[in-house]
Amino acid sequence: MDLTILIISLAKIAVVLTVLFTCVAYVVWLERKVAGRIQNRWGPHRTGPFGLLQPAADFLKALFKEDFTPAQVQRPIYFLAPFLAMTLALMSIAVIPFGENVTIAGRTIFFEITDLNIGLLYIFAVTSLGVYGIALAGWSSGSKYSLMGGLRSSAQMISYELGLGFAVVGVLILSGTLSLRGIVNAQSGFWFGIIPKWYIWPQFVGFLVYLTAAFAETNRTPFDLPEAEGELVGGFHTEYSSLKFAMFFTAEYTNMITVACLATLLFFGGWMAPLPWAWVQHVPALVLLGMAALMTRTALRTYRLERRKSYFAVPGLAGIVGLIGLAFLHPVFAAVAAPMFWFASKVFVFLFLYIWVRWSVPRFRYDQLMHLGWKVLLPVAAANILITGLVVAL
């Protein structure tokens, strides 16, 4: 019995890690592509069709680069820091449920690595530990830029962690559980048969605080002061190169995916469809088929401009997407995959928002950042708890 659990969880972890690394790789690609378009340029487009092989090229580059260790570093800590950052970032994904549990032929499939009854607490615990990776990296590097970056980053992360922690208390009052699956299930149903009972409506203020704090927690613009390149070179990872740098990079994007997943689960009903299931049951198929058509069209058009044969690979990809779309027409497949489709779509919207904001909004000044965290977010979140408490009690 124990062995089966172990094997099943190993398989799940393998799948989740593969999907996660692919997501991280292609979020980076998407970021560069969107950044390019926002700045009126192409973004990566040399490696493979539309630069789709860029993540692989980046990984190989990191692998073959010299792993440089400056003389003045505190060695054990310097080596430990990227491991801490990356491992802890990955750990938090372990309790994220990404689909509704389904029972097929008497066997229930659980769509998460493990369901803890304190899932949310676990995530906060693990992500809080993540600050060690950054603080230690900054301190052990023995460079002034690293130290400043590490200090700023730690102060910023712990300040906004309060806002983040306070913001979700409202959700906890409403749902009465710390289990992420429980929180999503508490958001099922519709008001007037059309407005989904997601916590975004009663907890709108909480959501705004959460979103702002999440930007700061992941060190993303407008709160990217830890690596404000104009003043701090690379911030806490100035002295890190090759794969160790790649590990910090992976950690940052993994954290981004985690907070996007968490926003989806806590405020946007997780895998629930935005309208009653019956109304939107064909939407996944339509969206995926539309995507396939769009991919094919764009690839053929670009081929006519550039005459590079690699573009013929894209219709092949489109074919796979289209086949998945067709599979959604089968009721059993739809029952399993439709919740995942909705979950993935919502997470994608959040990730896109992150990228969009990063390339549109200028950076805060450090005193403004602290002011926002301690004097705006914290009181607003506390007031939100108070009002939610009053409304629920009365």
Cβ of residue 241: shortest distance to other proteins, in angstroms? Answer: 10
Closest CB to other proteins among 149 and 325? 149
Cβ of residue 229: shortest distance to other proteins, in angstroms? Answer: 12
Cβ of residue 68: shortest distance to other proteins, in angstroms? Answer: 6
Closest CB to other proteins among 50 and 124? 124
Closest CB to other proteins among 111 and 139? 139
| Distance, first Cα to last Cα, the chain | 48
Cβ of residue 234: shortest distance to other proteins, in angstroms? Answer: 8
Would you tell me how many other CB atoms lie within 10 Å of the CB of residue 372?
A: 20
Per-residue CA distances from 110 to 3, 59, 98 (Å):
17, 32, 9
Closest CB to other proteins among 95 and 314? 95
Closest CB to other proteins among 87 and 345? 87
Closest CB to other proteins among 36 and 142? 142
Cβ of residue 336: shortest distance to other proteins, in angstroms? Answer: 21
Q: Is there a contact between 120 and 172 (Cβ–Cβ < 8 Å)?
A: yes
Cβ of residue 271: shortest distance to other proteins, in angstroms? Answer: 20
Cβ of residue 272: shortest distance to other proteins, in angstroms? Answer: 21
Closest CB to other proteins among 62 and 288? 62
